[in-house]
Amino acid sequence: MKALIKPAILALGMSITVYQNSGKRGTDLVFSSLGIILLWPIFLVVAIFIKLDSAGPVFFRQKRVGKKGKVFTFYKFRNMVKDAEKLKKKYLHLNEANGPVFKIRDDPRYTRVGKFLSHTGLDELPQFINVVKGDMSLVGPRPLPVNEEGQIPVRWQKKRRLAKPGIACSWLLEGAHNLPFNQWMKLDLIDIKKSSLIYDFRIFLRVIILGLKFVSMEIRARNTIQAIINFLFLNLAYFLGIGITSIIAKVVGKHFLEMEAKKTSWQKYSKSKDLKTMY
């Protein structure tokens, strides 16, 4: 089987190194597992904010295309309202992306928390789970939804499918959706050709630094700290309100039941007294 695959790869003008065939999986597994262990407090905080902000699950799941055309379940933190996929057709005319993909920077379907997560890239953290499972790599072409990947011209599609999709890539560093689609595809192929331990480490480190920069920019631009305090205060007030209302309801209910019990007892006493008077 390997003997048949290698000529096919060479025919596409691509070369897959020993590192990509074997060593890369070990690196992915070690660092993605380490990432999940170190970042679990952030996972927990983000999950709480998502649940407080809007109805729906914490994670968004979607079918995407991976290596050799394999379809897998892709994970990310939910950043949109529930049933956002059903609302997609309504906003197709607002698409800002080039090529057969769909992207709106300030998508109307974003939740308050989701918009911050999307603009900072924090919504992508659950993809460490995809890396551990073996569906993705730390560095590689970004995975696309099945319907969008199917529209990529074959000359790009076949070459992209030679490698596992990744969390980080050169496309993100060079401007992402601001780039022409052809430039995006070329950068993906460069990442596949140049993939090595050092090359991938540099790409991933630069994407981490870029993500931290985006977080800092979002905090400064939107006064996020104050927004978080307001958000927590409103939710705290909401739950306190529910708690106080529940306590009041219990007290009033208990008082009402006691009154009803006394009334019933008095009625029985009066009826008993009347019967004694009759005899």
**Residue from 81, 61, 79 nearest 71 by CA:** 61
Asked whether residue 79 is domain-assigned, the answer is yes
How confident is the model at residue 60, as a pLDDT?
96
Asked whether residue 251 is domain-assigned, the answer is no
Tell whether pTM > 0.85.
no
Asked whether residue 240 is domain-assigned, the answer is no
What do you get for the CA distance between the two ends of the chain, in Å? 107
How confident is the model at residue 3, as a pLDDT?
46
- Segment among 12-21, 118-127, 151-160, 188-197 with least mean pLDDT: 12-21
How confident is the model at residue 275, as a pLDDT?
47
Rounded Cα distance, 28 and 45, in Å? 25
Asked whether residue 73 is domain-assigned, the answer is yes
How confident is the model at residue 123, as a pLDDT?
96
Q: Give tens-digit pLDDT for 36-54.
A: 999 999 999 999 999 989 9
pLDDT at position 149 over 60: yes
Q: How many other C-beta atoms lie within 10 A of the C-beta of residue 63?
A: 12
Q: Give tens-digit pLDDT for 201-228.
A: 999 999 999 999 998 888 877 665 555 5
Domain residues for the domain of 213 are 8-222
The band of 180, judged by pLDDT with boundaries at 50, 70 and 90, is very high
211 burial type by CB count under 10 A (0-12 exposed, 13-18 middle, 19+ buried): middle
Asked whether residue 138 is domain-assigned, the answer is yes
DSSP state of 145: B
How confident is the model at residue 263, as a pLDDT?
59
Q: Is the dihedral of CA 176, 65, 72, 98 positive or negative?
A: positive
DSSP state of 59: E
- Relative orientation angle of helices 224-278 and 197-222, to the nearest 10 degrees: 70
The band of 80, judged by pLDDT with boundaries at 50, 70 and 90, is very high
197 burial type by CB count under 10 A (0-12 exposed, 13-18 middle, 19+ buried): exposed
Q: If you average pLDDT over residues 229-258, what whole number do you get?
A: 54
Please list, in sequence order, all residues whose beta carbon lies within 8 angstroms of the beta carbon of residue 141, skipping any fewer than 6 positions away. Answer: 160, 163, 165, 166, 169, 171, 188, 191, 192
Rounded Cα distance, 37 and 130, in Å? 15
Among all chains, which residue has been given the structure tokens 């096919």?
A: 8
Of how many residues is the chain composed? 279
How confident is the model at residue 226, as a pLDDT?
58
How confident is the model at residue 229, as a pLDDT?
56
Asked whether residue 229 is domain-assigned, the answer is no
The residues that bridge with 45 in the sheet, in sequence order, are: none
Q: For residue 237, what are its two tokens?
A: 């007030």
Q: What are phi and psi of 163, to 5 degrees?
A: -125, 160
Asked whether residue 1 is domain-assigned, the answer is no
Structural domain total, the chain: 1
